[in-house]
Amino acid sequence: MRPRETARRLLGLTAGLTVAVVTVAGCNGTSQGGSTQGQGGKGAAHGAIDYAWWGGASRNEKTNAVISLYKKAHPKVKIDGQSSDFDAYWEKLNVEAAGKNLPCVPQMQARELNDYTKRHTLMPLDKMVKSGAIDVSGIPKNVLDTGRGTDGKLYMIPYGAAYDGIMYNKTIVTKAGLPTPPTNFTWDWYTNWLTQAKAKLPKGVAASNLDGGNADVFISYTQSQGASLFKGDKLGFSKSMLAAYWNMWEKLRKSGATISAAAQADQGTDTPLEQSFMAQGKVMSATTPGNALEDAQNAINGVKGGKLAITTHPFGSSGLGNVLITSGLSISANCENVPTAASFINFFTNDAKGAHAFSSDNGAVTVTKLLDAQINDPKTTPEKKEELEVYNEIVDHKAPVIVYPSGYTSVFVDAYTRAYQDISFGRKTVAQAVDSFFKEADADLQQG
């Protein structure tokens, strides 16, 4: 072969391949909401489906237990379970979505849900609910509605509802001679509590984490003031509200009631619970997910750091602002075995034995009947019970439904944390940070 010709052929080949790749990608995304066939989800469950979730060792064990219960009831079905940790899970899911290759049943969370619904990678489930393939009658309405997309259709059946609350170290509180938070405690009570605690705590223990950069706390604050985080694709709260809120945290930080900005950044959002100040007995209180109580208690036992408890976020002028962060199951638009997927979701959500085996590992079980059974079960640990009771309290206070716009975790949460870090590290004033945050969030939410 002559080299010039070789080169020309190579070039031709490359060009051809490039075109092929471009066409392949170009074909993507044209389908709307997947195949229409089998959307009722009725029909015998058989064949294989993939189910992917996020979780560590103990959740994997529980999930696998539910899967084997389902297999026992449906011997003709093969379920391929895949687990990874939270970050890796979304990374993989994004690439799979680009390749139109999502697992049949991907686990979703309300905060991320609309990143996927907006791009039509999930199947609306309303028809399957209507046909009875998926039973949602046991789930309270405000919990079920967290599974809706921005278009109002149901895309996720929530099976577990988590919430963020104030976790506190009872032993430290009592030793300092302080009261534990009463029911319906307010934001003022809370900040006073922290300020007073400062003088009474032993050296090396702070009254609180520096939670001003945690967007999930701010959600509770806005809701408790009668505002809402989002109005459609726009921010639903005012600049002055955010400024007041951040000033509140700055006052706490400067008075020494909280841990330092650097220590907070060090903990970050990804630090394992076991390495957190709370689980090491180094803070009196901090915002923490309710379902972390059991694990945090287990970790703090390792350093003999005391007894932990959890309660709601503080009350504001409009009452309790806690929202629910639900996790649930969806069906991907590229799923080819919809009846089986629907049957599995139905089982995961409603089966009593399954719920018992899973024991509300990823937030309180959403079906009221199953929840009551779990609270009354003598085998449920006291920590789990406490977590579930606080959940009940939040549901009773009519936890508002938040529809998170697409780009919530990727854009809003990151920008929010960064803006508060700029303040707490003294790089911007509160007013400057509020301004730049509004600019960034508004622009990016519209982009997303």
Footprint on residues 248-277 left by another protein (CB under 8 A)? 260-275
Work out whether 29 is an interface residue with another protein (CB under 8 A).
yes
- How many chain residues bind another protein (CB under 8 A)? 96
For the CB of residue 313, give the shortest distance to another protein in the complex, in Å: 19
For the CB of residue 338, give the shortest distance to another protein in the complex, in Å: 20
- Nearest CB to another protein, comparing residues 333 and 338: 333
Gap between the Cα atoms of 256 and 206, Å rounded: 8
Gap between the Cα atoms of 187 and 261, Å rounded: 21
Work out whether 86 is an interface residue with another protein (CB under 8 A).
yes
Work out whether 372 is an interface residue with another protein (CB under 8 A).
no
According to CB under 8 A, which residues from 302 to 361 bind another protein? 302-303, 361
- Nearest CB to another protein, comparing residues 225 and 291: 291
Binding mask 109-148 for another protein (x = CB under 8 A): ------x---xxx---------------------------
Gap between the Cα atoms of 118 and 405, Å rounded: 9
List alpha helices for 365-429, DSSP H: 368-376, 382-396, 414-424
For the CB of residue 82, give the shortest distance to another protein in the complex, in Å: 5
CB 164 within 8 A of CB 278: no
| Strand bridging mode 47-54 / 105-109 | parallel
According to CB under 8 A, which residues from 196 to 235 bind another protein? none
CB 26 within 8 A of CB 317: no
According to CB under 8 A, which residues from 408 to 447 bind another protein? 410-411, 414, 417-418, 421-422, 425, 427, 444, 447
Positive or negative: CA dihedral 345, 346, 350, 356:
negative
Work out whether 288 is an interface residue with another protein (CB under 8 A).
no
CB 109 within 8 A of CB 362: no
Work out whether 34 is an interface residue with another protein (CB under 8 A).
no
The one segment of 58-66, 245-253, 343-351, 369-377 that binds another protein by CB under 8 A: 58-66
Gap between the Cα atoms of 179 and 325, Å rounded: 29
List alpha helices for 28-109, DSSP H: 57-73, 86-98
The H or E element containing residue 404 is: none
